[in-house]
Amino acid sequence: MTHLSRLSAVEAARKLAAREISAERYVNACLERIDERERDVRAFAWIDRERALARARELDAGPVLGVLHGLTLGVKDVFDTWDMPTQGGSKAFEGYRPQHDAGCIAYARKVGAIVLGKTVTAELATFPANETRNPLNLAHTPGGSSSGSAAAVADFMVPAATGSQQFGSLIRPAGYCGVVAYKPTYNLIPKRGVWANSDSCDTLGVIARTVPDAALVASGMIEYPGLRAFVDRANDVPAPRIGLCRSYEWDRCDEHMKAAFEGARAALAGAGAKVAEVVLPEGFRGMAEAQKLVSNFEMGRGFSDVVIRFGDRLRKPLYERSVAGLAITGEAYQRAQALGRKCRQLFADALGECDVLLTPAATGEAPKGIDNTGDPIMNGVWSFLHAPCVAVNGGFGPNGLPLAMQVVGRLDDDARTLACAHWVHRHLGR
């Protein structure tokens, strides 16, 4: 019999709604798994066992509240929660307790989700790593900045967890840990109550173990019927039209990722997908640098108070990067923003007749060591485009760790992007 903590989010939600299992029993199963593995994986910054169990008992005694009834959720430690600290993985915010939930967390609780705890983030959702390990190999990074969310889901501690992405903070850690991430179209999930880095790029999303799981949890955070409709028909998705996109950052990928990409092409074409090469317009060549400039400009100014009053509590690389962001001129920022707007207008036509693009989610497998969360170069362009992206596994590297791909769709075409990603995930056989 499958241990309850290993149920998919869709299956667990179905059993909880049908009262085949109690929320209390389900929460205890997740806590049992955490007790087994948390000492090694270190996915959580805060766990509130008694509050979670008390909430589970309340749900068991009352009516089914909604699509996430009784489902446990890990919450990245930059999402405000009224009943737990939000510390951002930084000494600058030790002990900070907000009075309100982030909007998306409040809505998830309204439809029955149980917040089990706060998952570890790289400092202030940027790049200095904290203590989380990759559960597939504890000597390797889980990626960042949504480090704990990816590790907790991959290690069966929770079925899903929230994350945020400025550069590659959802897609890359999920890819490194062999699970799924859904980064929606920009601002589809409202950001109120989630700590900002770069308002032009920051996007909230979900990490889960399957594409329908991620869509289900996202549908519990927002009113977006297309997500729920996809979950209900996930097994009836036709073969998509897929554009293979190497992007202008392709040379940063290692030989193993490049080989996995070619293997994915063959596997998907063999399964019935229509596969074509897609070359992005020349203007996209500057998008990675433009995204970095915009992010650093906005982050430097957004972190001003922290830098001025609590700079000695920030780790040195983050402090220096924030200060450097203040040196970027408004004129350079406006030019970068203009390029982003232009490329967003070109992007739908660039896909041609393809439903989605397939492109590497990282430069290779998760690097060894936990001080470096990996290179986000394969993600930043898509974050700046505001396009929906889904990370799925596409093979394995020399250390036996995943080589992830990302499925990228048109802006506001999230339901189709998820459906295509699900088809890809199933037919890559991972």
Task: From the candidates 5, 76, 90, 219, give the one annotated as an active-site residue.
Answer: 76
> From the candidates 5, 146, 149, 169, which is the catalytic residue?
169
Judge whether 149 counts as a catalytic residue: no
Is 169 an annotated catalytic residue?
yes
**CA gap 402, 393 in Å, rounded:** 6
Q: Which residues of 136-147 are buried (b: 16+ CB within 10 A; e: fewer)?
A: bbeebbbbbbbb
- By three-state DSSP, how is residue 376 classified? coil
Which residues 6+ apart lie within 8 Å of 318 measured at CB?
123, 124, 126, 127, 128
Report the DSSP beta bridge partners of residue 309.
Answer: none
Angle between helices 414-427 and 211-219 (to 10 degrees): 150
Whole-angstrom distance, CA of residue 420 vs CA of residue 408: 9
145 catalytic, yes or no? yes
Least Cα distance to 107 among 178, 243, 204 occurs for 204
Beta bridge partners of 94: none
DSSP H or E run through 269: helix 255-270
Residue 320: what residue type? E
Beta strands in 79-179 (DSSP E): 114-119, 160-165
**What is the number of alpha carbons within 13 Å of residue 11 lying toward its C-beta?**
11
DSSP SS3 for 358: strand
The letter for the amino acid at 321 is R
Helices (H), ranges, 283-329: 287-302, 304-310, 316-326
How far, in whole angstroms, is CA 95 from its chain's centroid? 25
Tracing tokens 């297309």 back to the chain, one arrives at: 226
Contact between 146 and 160 (Cβ < 8 Å): no
Residue of 5, 145, 198, 322 marked catalytic: 145
Give the active site residues. 76, 145, 169
